[in-house]
Amino acid sequence: MTSTSYITTPIYYVNDKPHIGHAYSTLAADVLARWRRMQGKDVFFLTGTDEHGQKVEKAAADAGMDPQAFTDQVSGTFRALAQDMGYSITDFIRTTEPRHKRACQVLWEKLAANGEIYLGHYEGWYAVRDEAFYGPDELTERDGVKYAPSGAPVEWVREPSYFFRLSAWQDRLLAFYEANPDFILPSSRRNEVIAFVKSGLGDLSISRTSFTWGVKVPGDEAHVMYVWLDALTNYITAAGYPDDPEAFAKWWPAELHIVGKDILRFHAIYWPAFLMAAGIAPPKRVFAHGWWTVEGQKISKSLGNAIDPRGLVEEFGLDAVRYFLLREVPFGQDGDFSRAALVNRLNGELANALGNLANRTLSLIQRNCGGKLPAPVLFAEPKPDQGVSGLAATWWQDDWEFLSEGGHGDVPANGHLPASEAWLVKQVAALLDEQKFDAALSLIFATIREANGYITRQQPWKLKKDGFDDRAEQVLRRLHDVLRTVATILQPFMPDTMAKLLAQLGVPEAARGLEHLAEPLPAGLALPPPEPLFKKVEAAA
C-alpha cells in the first residue's frame, strides 16, 4: 500500500495582494510535495485563502465592494500566483465555500457536545489586523496608542462571546509537546511555544458579535466564529471532514503545516487543543519559517516595498527565483531579499557551476564520443598499493576521491557514484525530512563543485588528444552519471529546467524518479546537442 503525505500552507488572508512572503511558504510546501511524490508517496498538497473576519469586512467596505465579491476578486489573485509559480497543488480551499462552513459548524457542535465551549463576555485588547486578542503584559505604547507584539494597534473590546476552555488544556498540551518533540520546528520556535504555554493559558474567545462577515455559530446566529477557529478548520475540511470519512482517514493527520512564525501560536497551541478536544488527532508537525525583509526593511504597505514574485519571474526566470528563495536563507530564519543576492546565486551557482558543468560535459560527449553515451564504468582495479603506478595510479586516486565523495562511502562494484545513487540521495532525503531546504541545496551544489573540479583535473579533451580514448570516455560517463543524479534530485526545486537537463542527458520521462538512478542508461544512447540552461544576468552598477 502506498503511503500518503498531506502537506499544507497557511491559507492567505485576502485583505491585500500576494507578495514574496506568500510565495515563499507555498514554494517550500511545493518542493516537499514534489519530493514526496518522487519517493512514491500519494500526496495531497493544499493551499487557499482565509476570507472571513473583521479585517476583510473593513477592507471590502474601503473598496466599496460587497465582502463576497471582494473575496472572490482577491482570492483569484492568490490562485493565479499558484499557477504562475508552478505549484503542484492538489486543492485550493476558500473559507467561504459551503463545504468549509459545514466543517466549521460540525466541529463547533462537537466541541460544544464535549463541554469545551461556554457563553460569557469578553473584554480586552484586540488587534483587528491580527484578528487576535492580547494580554496587557504583551503590549507596548507609543504616543498614547497601544500596540501588539506584531506592531498592530489594539483597541479595547467588550462584547458577548463564546469561549473555548483552553485553560483546561495547558498540561495536556505540554505533555503532547514532550511526547512529540518534532511537532514544532525549528526547535527555537518550539521553545518559545512551550514557554508561552507554561506561563499560563486563559480560556479563548471564539465568537464575535460586532461584525457579521464569518461562519455563523450553530444555534446562535448573532455570533460569528472567531476567524482563527474558522481558518484553522480548513485543513480538515479539505481532507474530507466531516462528510467523507474514508478520505479523512486516508489523509489525516497531516504530515506538515508550513506557516509563518507570526501565526505559530494559533497553529501550535489553539489548533491541537481544538482537535484533541473534538477527539481528532493533531497534525504531525507545524514548521514556522521566518520573515523576509527587502533591502533590510520589513515588507509593509506603508513603505510600498512588497516584492511581486511574478515580476521577479519575468525578470529572472521561474526556476532561478524558486532556487534563490530556498537557497539564500536557512528555512526557519529571517532573511533579506536583494536583487544583487539573486543575481549572484543565478550567475555563480546556476549558470557557472551547474550550467557550465552540463554544457562542458555534454559538448565533450558530442565532440569526442560522436554524441553517443559512453558505456557504464566499473571502478578501476587493482589499487595503487598493488603495483599500479604512474598515470593509472593518479587516475585511480582521483576516481576514488570523486566516486566516494571524499570518503563518504565505499565505491560500489557497479561503478555508480555513492554520492549520487546512495550517499547524496540519502542525505538530501534526511535534510528534506527536517525541512532543511538550504542545506539540501548546499550539499547538492557541493557535489557539482566536486564534479567541476574532477573535469578540470582530468581534462578529458586532452586525454582524447593524447590517445587515451577509453579514459576520456570513462571520465565523461562518470560526469554524465553525476549530472543525471543531480538533475533528478533537483527536480522538486527547479522542475522546468531539470526537465530540460534530463532530456539533454537522454533520460526518458518515465525514468526520472529516484528509484531509476540505480538503473544505468545504455551505452550508445544518442544525446541531443546541449543548450544553455541558465541565462546570466548583468549585475546592476
Give the range of the structural domain holding residue 391, as residue numbers without chain letter.
339-516
d(CA 479, CA 472): 11
In this predicted structure, what is the pLDDT of residue 415?
42
Would you say residue 173 lies in a domain? no
All three cell numbers of 329, joined, read 536563507
Would you say residue 184 lies in a domain? no
In this predicted structure, what is the pLDDT of residue 293?
84
In this predicted structure, what is the pLDDT of residue 398?
80
In this predicted structure, what is the pLDDT of residue 453?
93
Q: Kindly state the average pLDDT of the residues 27-38.
A: 98
Would you say residue 92 lies in a domain? no
Find where cell 532543511 sits: 436
d(CA 365, CA 367): 6
In this predicted structure, what is the pLDDT of residue 14?
85
In this predicted structure, what is the pLDDT of residue 69?
95
Q: What percent of the chain has pLDDT over 70?
A: 92
Would you say residue 461 lies in a domain? yes
Within 13 Å and on the Cβ side, how many CA atoms surround 93?
26
How many distinct structural domains can be found in the chain? 1
In this predicted structure, what is the pLDDT of residue 396?
73
Buried-exposed string 456-493: b where 16+ CB fall within 10 A, e elsewhere:
eebebbebbeeebeebbbbbbbbbbbbbbbbbbbbbbb
The secondary structure of the chain in percent helix, strand, coil, rounded to multiples of 5, reads: 50, 15, 35
Q: Which of 488, 355, 474 is nearest to 420 (CA)?
A: 488
Would you say residue 71 lies in a domain? no
Residue 258 CB burial class (10 angstroms; 0-12, 13-18, ≥19): buried
d(CA 96, CA 261): 25
pLDDT band of residue 107 (cuts 50, 70, 90) is very high
User: How confident is the prediction for the chain on average, in pLDDT?
Assistant: 91
Is the per-residue pLDDT at 313 higher than 90?
A: yes
In this predicted structure, what is the pLDDT of residue 393?
76
Q: Which of 401, 519, 512 is nearest to 453 (CA)?
A: 401
Is the per-residue pLDDT at 541 higher than 50?
A: no
d(CA 312, CA 334): 20
CATH number at residue 451: 1.10.730.10
Q: Kindly state the average pLDDT of the residues 499-509.
A: 98
In this predicted structure, what is the pLDDT of residue 133?
81
- The predicted-structure confidence for 109-146, as pLDDT tens digits, reads as follows 999 999 999 999 988 898 988 878 888 989 999 999 99
d(CA 521, CA 268): 47
In this predicted structure, what is the pLDDT of residue 419?
45
In this predicted structure, what is the pLDDT of residue 389?
54
Would you say residue 446 lies in a domain? yes
Would you say residue 310 lies in a domain? no
In this predicted structure, what is the pLDDT of residue 523?
96
Least confident range of 162-171, 187-196, 396-405, 421-430: 396-405
Would you say residue 33 lies in a domain? no
Q: Which residue has the higher pLDDT, 343 or 404?
A: 343
Distances (CA, A) of 211 to 59, 158, 271: 13, 13, 23
pLDDT band of residue 150 (cuts 50, 70, 90) is confident
Q: Kindly state the average pLDDT of the residues 440-463.
A: 94
Rg (C-alpha) for the chain, rounded Å, is: 27
In this predicted structure, what is the pLDDT of residue 418?
44
All three cell numbers of 247, joined, read 478520505
In this predicted structure, what is the pLDDT of residue 412?
45
- The predicted-structure confidence for 473-501, as pLDDT tens digits, reads as follows 999 999 999 999 999 999 999 999 999 99
- The predicted-structure confidence for 255-291, as pLDDT tens digits, reads as follows 999 999 999 999 999 999 999 999 999 999 999 999 9
- The predicted-structure confidence for 3-23, as pLDDT tens digits, reads as follows 999 999 999 988 777 888 889
Q: SS3 of 286, please?
A: strand
In this predicted structure, what is the pLDDT of residue 55?
86
Cite the beta strand spans of 180-231 per DSSP E.
184-185, 204-205, 207-208, 216-217, 220-225
In this predicted structure, what is the pLDDT of residue 1?
45
In this predicted structure, what is the pLDDT of residue 407?
47
In this predicted structure, what is the pLDDT of residue 2?
65
Q: Kindly state the average pLDDT of the residues 164-180.
A: 98
Least confident range of 119-133, 297-311, 395-409: 395-409
